[in-house]
Structure 1
Amino acid sequence: MSTAAGQLSDLGRTRVQPARASAQQSRWSHMLYVAPFLCLYAALLVYPLFAGFWLSLHKADLFGGRRFVGFENFTRLSNDQVFLGAVGNTFYFIVLTVPALAIIGLGLALALNRQTRTAAVLRGVFFSSSVLSVTIVTLLWKVVFAPEGGFLANLLEAFGRPPIAFLSSAELALPAIAITTIWWCIGLPMMLFLAALQQVPRELYEAAALDNAGRWKTLWHVTLPSIRRTFALVLIIEVVLQFQLFGQAYLMTQGGPNNASRPMVLFLFEVGFTRWDVGYAVAAGQILFGFIAIAAFAQYLVARRKEAF
Structure 2
Amino acid sequence: MNRKWLMQDMRALLFILPFFIVYLIFTIFPVIKGLEMSLYDWNLVNKLEFVGFENYKKMFGDPHFWRTLWNTTLFVILTTPTMVLLSLGLALLANLDTKFQTFFRGSFFIPSILSVSVISFLVIFMLQPYNGFVNTFIQSIGIDAEPFWMADKVLAWVTIVVVTLWWTVGFNMILFLAGLQDIPKSLYEASEIDGATRWQMFRYITLPQLIPIGRVILLLQILASYKVFAQILLITDGGPGGATRPLIQYIYEVGFTQNNLEYAAAMSYALFFILLILSIIQLRNQKSEEG
Q: Same fold (TM over 0.5)?
A: yes
2:174 maps to what in 1? 191
Distance in 2 separating the partners of 1:141 and 1:29: 50
Matched, 1:134 2:116: yes
1:274 maps to what in 2? 257
Matched, 1:236 2:223: no
1:4 maps to what in 2? none
Alignment of 1:52-91 (within 5 A): 52-64=34-46, 66-91=48-73
Matched, 1:218 2:205: no
Distance in 2 separating the partners of 1:278 and 1:24: 46
Output the amino acid matched with 2:63.
Q
Q: Which runs of 5+ in 1 are unaligned?
A: 1-18
Matched, 1:254 2:240: no
- CA deviation after TM superposition for structure 1 residue 298, in Å: 5.1
Residue range with higher mean Cα deviation, 58-67 or 99-108? 58-67
- CA deviation after TM superposition for structure 1 residue 147, in Å: 2.5
Q: What's the secondary structure of 1:227's corresponding residue?
A: helix
Residue-by-residue CA offset, 1:172-191 (whole Å, 9 max, x unaligned): 32232111100100110111
Q: 1:173 aligns with which of 156, 164, 184?
A: 156
Distance in 1 separating the partners of 2:279 and 2:268: 16
Distance in 2 separating the partners of 1:47 and 1:116: 51
In structure 2, the CA distance between the partners of 1:151 and 1:71, relative to structure 1 (3 Å rule), is: same
Q: Which runs of 5+ in 2 are unaligned?
A: none
Alignment of 1:290-309 (within 5 A): 290-297=273-280, 301=284, 305=287, 308=290
Contact 1:59 1:67 (C-alpha < 8 Å) held by counterparts: yes
1:14 maps to what in 2? none
Aligned residues: 290
In structure 2, the CA distance between the partners of 1:306 and 1:117, relative to structure 1 (3 Å rule), is: farther
- CA deviation after TM superposition for structure 1 residue 280, in Å: 0.8
Contact 1:271 1:278 (C-alpha < 8 Å) held by counterparts: yes
Output the amino acid matched with 2:256.
F
TM-score (norm 2): 0.90
Distance in 2 separating the partners of 1:185 and 1:21: 48
Distance in 2 separating the partners of 1:160 and 1:28: 70
Q: What is the Cα-based RMSD across aligned positions, in Å?
A: 2.5
Contact 1:255 1:262 (C-alpha < 8 Å) held by counterparts: yes
Contact 2:40 2:47 (C-alpha < 8 Å) held by counterparts: no
2:23 maps to what in 1? 41
1:152 maps to what in 2? 134
Residue range with higher mean Cα deviation, 83-92 or 55-64? 55-64
In structure 2, the CA distance between the partners of 1:43 and 1:295, relative to structure 1 (3 Å rule), is: farther
